[in-house]
Amino acid sequence: MIYIFSVLPLISAFLIFIFGRIKENISWIIATLCSFILLIFSFLTIFSNKVLVYTVGGWKIPFGICLVVDKFSSLFLIVINLITFLSLIYSFSYMKKYDRLYFYYILFCLLLAGLNGVVITGDLFNFFVFLEIASISSYALVAYKGGKEELEASFKYLILGSIGSSFILFGIAFIYGRLSTLNMADISNSLEFNYNKSSIIFALSLFIAGLSIKTALVPFHAWLADAHPAAPSPISSMLSGVVIKVLGVYGLSRLIFNIFGFNYNLSLILIFLGTLSMVVGVLLAIGQWDFKRLLAYHSISQIGYVVLGLGIGTPMGIVGGLFHLFNHSIFKSLLFLNAGAIEYNIKTKNLKEMGDLSKVMPITSNSSLIASLSIAGIPPFCGFWSKLFIILAAFMANLKLAGFLCILVSLITLASFLKVQKYAFLDKTNKNFQDIKEVPFSMVFSMSFLAILCILVGLFFPLVKDYIIEPASNVLINGKDYFKVILN
């Protein structure tokens, strides 16, 4: 039954392709229905206590392709389908001013199919194929508006993304050359004895290079700062909330923890990349006045937190990293939706031109206040707990510098988001925005849903931790014998 996650969006994409031209909002109905069904299925995967293995075409494990859903991929399934469902509801009224919307919804369903396909597959080459589907549909979605900046940003994203995918394909070629098998479980088994061969290490470094291009970690973050502001807001909330996480962090952690086995110098690499992108992301974000570009730089620094948490490798660190990944997808997509709401009403992304919006757009300003507080890590909200775990893990693993940098970066994040609040919502000086009214209901619904989720996760974090985050991190912690379960 697992194949539903990637086949249902494909079926809805084809239906939209045929019926989309007839009536205007048929395509929205099909897309939202499909993502709602998948959201329910993704919640169901938590309650199945064993690893779901499905062999496509009935062939035994190493010969055919097998689909694997364990607790770690069910965490990602929840994140993907939740944010997709809310962005689809949001884009009902946001996308009214564009015509031929069926292209948008087809590409959205294909992006969903690609992301779900990446998460449920248990085969290395299949991972690459679905990664391509998700990347190409996100290039097309970034270029959807057709303006000058969007096209140029999408072209830069396409070039860097294709370099990343060719590195990943090169890594797969080396692994196939040495082990001549493509199934992840089979690879991890046959890696037991011939681990430190130079071709395996070269393949691993190619994978890390390719996937860190996809996650926009610091040396390769150039495309993210252009791509996210250029995309329409529901897409940029999908991009920074879900796509860079699933393509990058899921791929990195699945390869490093479950296939290659975690060791000391790998954790050094991850910690270095994490702290570097954490610090550089926030430093770049301070001087920004374009709301969406500021949020894009903050995504880079928050992903740095997640990679740092995973890099520490201790159970506390992995739980902190995954929990921060879960929280970050919630409040970062909420922030992008707020930016979209402001842009929907005032047609500007520049913080200086915004004015006293809190009276005029109450829900948007309150939800963005909640999101800003939780991204900065203020106690009652969800961001605090995950950052706390990461900082504790860093100090327990006596990485003093990393711990202090974590605290420093979260302070700077707090400062820059207070600036956002002040200029966007509470600035009493320019009064020329009195006449506008609140954004339509569909945008309000998804923004308030995410804001309530932010609060709930913050308050009931032990519940969330035990049912979703803890089992996912157990999969990573006991690493290699995850595949023994699959093979027998």
Partner 1 sequence: MKNNGGMSIIVKRITRITVSLIFLFGVYIMLHGHLSPGGGFAGGVIIALSFIHLVLAFGKDFAFRYFNKTLAFFLEGLGGILFLVISLLGIFIGGIFFLNFLPKGSPFNLFSSGIILASNFAIFLKVGAGLFSIFIALSLYRLSEKE
Partner 2 sequence: MGIYFLCLVLFSLGVWCLFVKKNLIKKIIGLAITEYAINLFFILLGYKIGADAPILEKNNLSIVSVDPLPQALILTSIVIGLGIIAFSVSLVMRLYEKYKTFDINKINNLKG
Partner 3 sequence: MIELYIILILMIIAAMASIYIEDLLSSVIALGAVGFGITLAFLFLKAPDLAITQLVVEILSLIILIKATIKSNRDINKEKNYISYIFLASFFIIAFLYFGYKAISELPKFGFPITKVSSFYIREGLNKTKAVNLVSSIILDFRAYDTLGEAIVLFTSVVGVLSVLRRNNEK
Name the site residues for partner 1 (rule: CB under 8 A): 3, 7, 10-11, 14, 17-18, 54-58
Query: Of partner 1, partner 2, partner 3, none, which one sits near residue 450, judging by CB under 5 to 8 A according to partner kind?
Result: none
In the complex with partner 2, which residue's Cβ is closer, 139 or 461? 139
Query: Of partner 3, partner 2, partner 1, none, which one sits near residue 117, judging by CB under 5 to 8 A according to partner kind?
Result: partner 3
CA distance 204 to 188: 13
Residue 16 beta carbon to partner 1: minimum distance, rounded to whole angstroms: 10
| DSSP annotation of 429 | S
Residues 108, 85 contacting (CB under 8 angstroms): no
Residue 413 beta carbon to partner 2: minimum distance, rounded to whole angstroms: 28
In the numeric block, the tokens 């069910």 are attached to 74
Residue 55 beta carbon to partner 1: minimum distance, rounded to whole angstroms: 8
In the complex with partner 3, which residue's Cβ is closer, 137 or 301? 137
Residues 119, 475 contacting (CB under 8 angstroms): no
In the complex with partner 2, which residue's Cβ is closer, 130 or 257? 130
The Cβ of residue 178 has, within 10 Å, a number of other Cβ atoms equal to 18
Residue 148 beta carbon to partner 2: minimum distance, rounded to whole angstroms: 5
Query: Of partner 1, partner 3, partner 2, none, which one sits near residue 18, judging by CB under 5 to 8 A according to partner kind?
Result: partner 1
Residue 13 beta carbon to partner 1: minimum distance, rounded to whole angstroms: 8
CA distance 274 to 434: 43
Residue 58 beta carbon to partner 1: minimum distance, rounded to whole angstroms: 4
Residue 2 beta carbon to partner 1: minimum distance, rounded to whole angstroms: 9
Residue 422 beta carbon to partner 2: minimum distance, rounded to whole angstroms: 28
CA distance 45 to 131: 22
Query: Of partner 1, partner 2, partner 3, none, which one sits near residue 367, judging by CB under 5 to 8 A according to partner kind?
Result: none
In the complex with partner 2, which residue's Cβ is closer, 135 or 253? 135
Residues 466, 113 contacting (CB under 8 angstroms): no
Contacts 24+ apart (CB under 8 A), 338-342: 338/364, 338/367, 338/368, 338/371, 338/447, 339/233, 339/291, 339/292, 339/295, 340/90, 340/94, 340/232, 340/233, 340/234, 340/236, 340/237, 340/443, 341/233, 341/439, 341/443, 341/447, 342/291, 342/424
Query: Of partner 2, partner 1, partner 3, none, which one sits near residue 98, judging by CB under 5 to 8 A according to partner kind?
Result: partner 3
CA distance 443 to 89: 7
Give residues in contact with partner 2 (CB under 8 A): 125, 129, 132, 136, 139-140, 143, 146, 148-149, 151-152, 154-155, 158-159, 162-163, 166, 169-170, 173, 176-177, 180, 182
Query: What are the start-end ranges of the H helices in 350-467?
Result: 362-376, 382-396, 400-421, 441-459, 461-464
From residue 426, give the alpha-carbon distance in Å to each of 99, 335, 355, 380.
35, 16, 7, 22
In the complex with partner 3, which residue's Cβ is closer, 64 or 462? 64
Quote the tokens at residue 280: 């550089």
CA distance 49 to 487: 17
Close Cβ partners of 478 (under 8 Å, ≥ 6 residues apart): none
In the complex with partner 1, which residue's Cβ is closer, 110 or 382? 110
Query: Of partner 1, partner 3, partner 2, none, which one sits near residue 148, judging by CB under 5 to 8 A according to partner kind?
Result: partner 2
Give residues in contact with partner 3 (CB under 8 A): 3, 10, 13, 17, 56-57, 59, 62-65, 97-100, 103-104, 106-107, 110, 113-114, 117, 125-126, 129-130, 132-133, 136-137, 139-140, 143-146, 151, 174, 177-182, 186, 197-199, 201-203, 205
In the complex with partner 2, which residue's Cβ is closer, 49 or 180? 180
Quote the tokens at residue 29: 């109905």
Residue 3 beta carbon to partner 1: minimum distance, rounded to whole angstroms: 5
**Cβ burial, residue 196 (10 Å; 0-12/13-18/19+):** exposed
In the complex with partner 2, which residue's Cβ is closer, 142 or 246? 142
Residues 257, 315 contacting (CB under 8 angstroms): no
Query: Of partner 1, partner 2, partner 3, none, which one sits near residue 110, judging by CB under 5 to 8 A according to partner kind?
Result: partner 3
Residue 382 beta carbon to partner 3: minimum distance, rounded to whole angstroms: 34
